[in-house]
Amino acid sequence: MLTALKCPNCAAPLPPSTETTVVCPYCAHTITGVPAVPWGAKLLREPWSGRPEDSGKQRVVVAGRPYVVLGRLGVGDGCDVFLGRLDARLTELVVLKVLRVADDADLLNREWDVLGRLAGSNARGGDFFAGLLPQRVTHGRLVTAGRPDSRASVFRYRSGFHYTLAQVAAAHPAGIDPRAGVWMWKRALEMLSWVHASGYAHAGVTPAHLLIHPRDHGVALVGWSAASRLGARLVAASTRARAVYPDDLWAGAPPRPAHDLTMLARSLRGAMSSSGPRSVPGPLDALLRRYTDPTAAGRVDDAWALLEQVTDASRAAFGAPAYVPFHMPPKED
């Protein structure tokens, strides 16, 4: 029976080895006490011809590592996003973010660097929140048959985060349940609180950059190419989401925590309000309105303080917290 070994630092699969000390090929972590596999060297010498089910699928090489492309996940302003799999015996699912617009190569590189710096943040809660960031695998030149060389970033696939907030809103044209909007708001604020404490603003909290886990009530932030150190200049903005940007941020103002809070509130209010203002209970609707307006009185610029306000408004609207299932219609093949 073949037992797959995983790196205790990054959970990547470890290749079979005749050695008891190995270096993870993904994160360079040194692992000792690894069970030696006497036939490991023989297995690694045998040529790999791929899985039969991958026959005919597109193959790419990113920074020297081969991947099979399994399908498209999304389309960004300058990149295409695909589900992929490492083309090897011991494999893993990945997300391939492939540059489509050559002029945006600097943004792809910048996102990779920002994620690396945030992963090393010393802000409180880093061990937990760094794990919610897109997990980097490799980054660099992409080569595939039939197209010019490009660049790509490869991230570890996270099960369950299959929908953006934009897709969630589209699947609920009458508006999402405000009780679901509450947990989406709170999960995103928890993440933003840590990001801000780490000295950064996301500066792109749009419906396309909020990934939703319907069953586990989880939210993850993607699209980090515009993330900046607090007080630095804005480097990018999405024309497809102009309505959620505060005017001064769109005009190039240095990103601040208040900008992220406004963009988040606008994104969520758009997803909740399509069924009319009466569908969102008064306390919650009043809070949403306050934070969609950057000039409104009574705002706070601290994500954790806003989270407490959301909790209070939710209790006033719905009573004690309770798990309410949230469903998405099955995806069509």
Q: Looking at the domain that runs over 163-318, which CATH code has it been given?
A: 1.10.510.10
The model carries a pTM of 0.84
Residue type, position 187, single letter: R
Do the domains spanning 71-156 and 163-318 agree at the CATH topology level? no
- Return the minimum-mean-pLDDT range out of 23-32, 39-48, 77-86, 210-219: 39-48
In sequence order, what DSSP letters do the residues of 71-140 get, joined into one string?
A: EEEEE-SSEEEEEEEESSSS--EEEEEEE-SGGGHHHHHHHHHHHHHHHT--STTHHHHGGGSPPEEEEE
Q: How confident is the model at residue 274 (pLDDT cuts 50, 70, 90)?
A: low
| pLDDT of 1 | 44
- pLDDT at 86 exceeding the cut of 60: yes
Residues 147 and 201: their CA atoms lie apart, in Å, by 36
For the chain, the structural domain boundaries read 71-156, 163-318
Query: Residues 310, 316, 322, 328: is their CA dihedral positive or negative?
Result: negative
Residue type, position 33, single letter: G
Report the chain's mean pLDDT, rounded to a whole number: 89
Q: What share of the chain has pLDDT > 70, as a percent?
A: 91
Mean pLDDT of 256-285: 85
Q: Looking at the domain that runs over 71-156, which CATH code has it been given?
A: 3.30.200.20
Residue type, position 244, single letter: V
Q: How confident is the model at residue 277 (pLDDT cuts 50, 70, 90)?
A: very low
> In the structure encoding, which two tokens stand for residue 283, read together?
């306390």
In sequence order, what DSSP letters do the residues of 140-164 get, joined into one string?
A: EEEEETTS--EEEEEEE--TT--EE
| pLDDT of 97 | 97
